[in-house]
Structure 1
């Protein structure tokens, strides 16, 4: 905590407004320090003096003390909340010894679900565990989402995380898109309400010293990707609007702005066939300055998605910069385009020397850097980072994954289950009675209390199979983590499931991280239930009737790939001949 005796400069005085403090500090900073404010670096949890073995990133110590970057995106996990908090405090000590002692803003992608993608999300480890965001779309409760985001806020602040690179408030209108599981579904109005609730839960009624800053993404709406391919890769760079439904994708972002969201992240994609220039959204001045800032009135921080400037290698494969439409530009020219467009920070980049060179060459003025640096500093002061540089490492254990938080996460996992089919009206399969002989696959049989687990479907009264939604595995570096391509199961996958269904009445438990084509199974499975991230125990609680499925589909489920291909990528509820429609969900009472 800052005391009166610590105050040597106005920026150190907590009695002054964040704006006045930012102006004072900015007037004192050398150009190198200003430039460092305009990057979000990457650090993998571990020794801050060592470079990352996972990502092309220098050590945290080098990032902060040499490059003067003090926004850090954290990858990896500690073994405990206390260890996480200690690492945070050690890292802040490095920042305190550097220049004017600007504290680090630590940020992260979602950490409370089940899905692991090192460039998009981390599965819960030390934190409480909840369904993926699509499961909240299935429950449709603004109150629950706000309560969940408040849990995130409390757990993040306990270990020193003050920036959430979420919520992801894109629309799930293209069923093949690999990022669909992190959305709230395809209904623009529902996503807008839930997204605004999420912002309120993270930030409160206004950003302050107890808040986590929310970064809504991916403006002006990711999702309508051509053929469902993701713009992390050159073959997925095109966003298309065959239904002319651009405004639907803006609705959630307008709601987030109204809720006071502090930051925005534009997506990689480039709009095709619209009024806008066909270049990546972050490079597009008509998108960032004219639309986001002028028309929608957003004056917070705009951080680019990661890696728009520099080519790198990840997971043993080349990973070119996502500079779609401006691939021909040099690194300095790309940087100049981004700042001219209205962006404030370069995500996942370390090329401070290139930014400094753009100033020296006149491509970017120092006055333009000052505009963005001021926004960044105002947020740091508003969050109280200069006054509370450290967190209570000993108290972190008691504040993270409390019994209340864990129970609430489990309740949400169970409630979000969506019952798609259930035997017949006269003879429902679920809930299961006690005493059955169960053949269990991809689920721990010990969770079926009161039942006998057998190894052979022929010896069982019933089978329970946990299956994933289908995808086409990719084999090149970062692509390995993206579930993309066809939604059809392979012949081998389909036949294996059908063989069990033929041998014994079978309950299919389907993880919907993307829509699944369940047509081959719908008439032969005894019941089909969907989940969006749930432990085996949570699944068993629902199947055995200890909890009831309360979810309703937040997306359409296609009957075939023909219906997927006929679906307009930008248009909600456009799936022709869907097998199950948005809103479908049975209960045990009906």
Structure 2
């Protein structure tokens, strides 16, 4: 046994022993956090056509010495646990046996944006973070995060690529559904509860490390476009509210968040260098490390260095403001800025060459690798890397976990209007439904085929968005928030023909003045089942939600608002914090 394999030593002592044993190539491999896929039966992917991921699992672990991976896709818990063990076995058989840190995007809600998270699948289903903000109960958020921790541990995930604590200050921005809304104080309180639930009072063998994102706050996007894409790269602060967006990150650091992810955005018109945050020394070293005192791992957002093929379409490296630099130059600039790890990349050979050429010192590499290895030791991965496959199947989606999620769904529902006290409904009315499972609705009333036959209608809508030609971008719902033209006319016609409850999923701040005027009732959801909505409509459960951002009156008001200033639209239909009791 080498000293680094001795669990009686401290993490720092073990790192002191392991680091000098590593080759430069092995060190460089630690500095990349890439993606893996798995076969449905839990076996490793050993062949690839390059259409989704360019490298096989053996090429990543044995060839490139990577030990940090984000799992793509949704699978059964037993199969995920089998896969995690297979990955760890391959890593254990390498020269130094450094264990793998497996990570995941959020997996506990209803989202369908595979570019940012996954729907719950076998895991317990909860409202999106916006729904948690609507409830605004830190104890509930800590309970949620603790359940996430237990379900993640069961299948081998040790790093959560969340929470996302940007402020929802630009109503059009596509990533709002992953935030805690527009209020910095609320976000700060909820992120501390979230970190406690996942990590505990301090990081240890029973923790899931949190990678908080997107520093220094990704909300103020010009025109609400997202910097995953070149036309959304500019981040602006016309309202002078830059420091407000830092407040949640200060709270996360105080709570002990283990890792931090800077965003893609390129700040414009500030005293910061106009380059993406992952290359920005003034932001990473100057602000995050020196001013705010963050000592954990800084991992870039995914895909800053290499052009990628996503769904068969080319996407440039997201090196905004430094697009002219070569890949080695990009790596060097990010390291100079203070980053430790590159997300969604697998090019350790660039670091090896930078060191051998003298551009980057090996001492600089050791600073980052020390942080990275230390976390593996603190998490206990060197001492207990495998999971119990049977326990994984028992734990993920456990009945009490699912019940807690279902309660939270109901609590998060937000009653926006209730004209003439249309709700709660009683008896077994004749119901006309749209975008509602008729079998579920049949538990509450008699489902009929047309509005003319109905006593009451229940329809579910989603916040509008613009279709984008690029397949990957189509998952990031951007652009208009308003119902328009024939679609709006059809909806209003229905609302005028029969008393109607409109349930609207607010992944962004929908513009609904006409719907609010004509509907018998409007209930906002942030991820909730049909049964949850109908339970509230029939008085079987209590909706407690309050809007986590305002709902603007028009797109003109949205366009006139300042993207860094929360709740800045003129005369909103429903203000921040609005919500009725039934």
Tell me whether the two structures share a fold, i.e. TM-score over 0.5.
Answer: yes
- Separation in 1, partners of 2:50, 2:474: 18
- Separation in 2, partners of 1:199, 1:128: 19
Matched ranges for 1:109-508 at <5 A: 109-424=105-420, 428-448=421-441, 449-508=443-502
Cα deviation, 1:232-280, whole Å, max 9, x if unaligned, reads: 0111100000110011100000000000000000000011111101000
Q: Is residue 43–residue 52 contact of structure 1 (8 Å, CA) maintained in 2?
A: no
- Separation in 2, partners of 1:50, 1:533: 37
- Separation in 2, partners of 1:296, 1:282: 17
The Cα shift of 1:54 comes to 5.7
Match of 1:63 in 2: 60
Match of 2:48 in 1: 51
Unmatched 5+ stretches in structure 1: 1-7
The Cα shift of 1:202 comes to 0.5
Q: Is residue 81–residue 388 contact of structure 2 (8 Å, CA) maintained in 1?
A: yes
Q: Does 1:557 align with 2:551?
A: yes
- Separation in 2, partners of 1:177, 1:336: 31
- Separation in 1, partners of 2:467, 2:23: 48
Match of 2:32 in 1: 39
SS of the residue aligned with 1:398?
A: helix
- Separation in 2, partners of 1:510, 1:341: 43
- Separation in 2, partners of 1:415, 1:174: 26
Q: Is residue 444–residue 534 contact of structure 2 (8 Å, CA) maintained in 1?
A: no
- Separation in 2, partners of 1:441, 1:98: 55
SS of the residue aligned with 1:523?
A: helix
**RMSD across aligned positions (CA):** 1.0
TM-score (norm: length of structure 1) = 0.96
The Cα shift of 1:534 comes to 0.8
- Separation in 2, partners of 1:410, 1:45: 29
Match of 1:15 in 2: 8
Match of 2:514 in 1: 520
The Cα shift of 1:52 comes to 7.1
- Separation in 2, partners of 1:278, 1:490: 37
Q: Is residue 130–residue 180 contact of structure 2 (8 Å, CA) maintained in 1?
A: yes
Q: Is residue 44–residue 54 contact of structure 1 (8 Å, CA) maintained in 2?
A: no
- Separation in 2, partners of 1:57, 1:368: 29
- Separation in 1, partners of 2:166, 2:81: 32
Q: Does 1:537 align with 2:534?
A: no
The Cα shift of 1:192 comes to 0.6
Distance 1:564 1:297, change over 3 A: same
SS of the residue aligned with 1:477?
A: coil
SS of the residue aligned with 1:158?
A: helix
Distance 1:394 1:515, change over 3 A: same
Cα deviation, 1:403-451, whole Å, max 9, x if unaligned, reads: 1110000000011000000012xxx111111221100010012223241
Deviates further, 392-401 or 261-270: 392-401
Q: Does 1:74 align with 2:68?
A: no
Cα deviation, 1:56-100, whole Å, max 9, x if unaligned, reads: 331122111111100001111222x12111111011111011120
Cα deviation, 1:30-63, whole Å, max 9, x if unaligned, reads: 1111000000010123242233766233112211
- Separation in 1, partners of 2:49, 2:400: 35
Q: Is residue 180–residue 513 contact of structure 1 (8 Å, CA) maintained in 2?
A: yes
Q: Does 1:566 align with 2:560?
A: yes
Match of 1:575 in 2: 569
Q: Is residue 42–residue 57 contact of structure 1 (8 Å, CA) maintained in 2?
A: no
Unmatched 5+ stretches in structure 2: none
Q: Is residue 553–residue 581 contact of structure 1 (8 Å, CA) maintained in 2?
A: yes
The Cα shift of 1:477 comes to 2.8
Distance 1:53 1:453, change over 3 A: farther
The Cα shift of 1:480 comes to 1.3
- Separation in 2, partners of 1:101, 1:475: 45
Cα deviation, 1:509-563, whole Å, max 9, x if unaligned, reads: 0000001111121111111100000111111111111101110000010000011
Match of 1:4 in 2: none
SS of the residue aligned with 1:522?
A: helix
TM-score (norm: length of structure 2) = 0.98
Q: Is residue 122–residue 396 contact of structure 2 (8 Å, CA) maintained in 1?
A: yes
Q: Does 1:99 align with 2:95?
A: yes
- Separation in 2, partners of 1:450, 1:573: 37
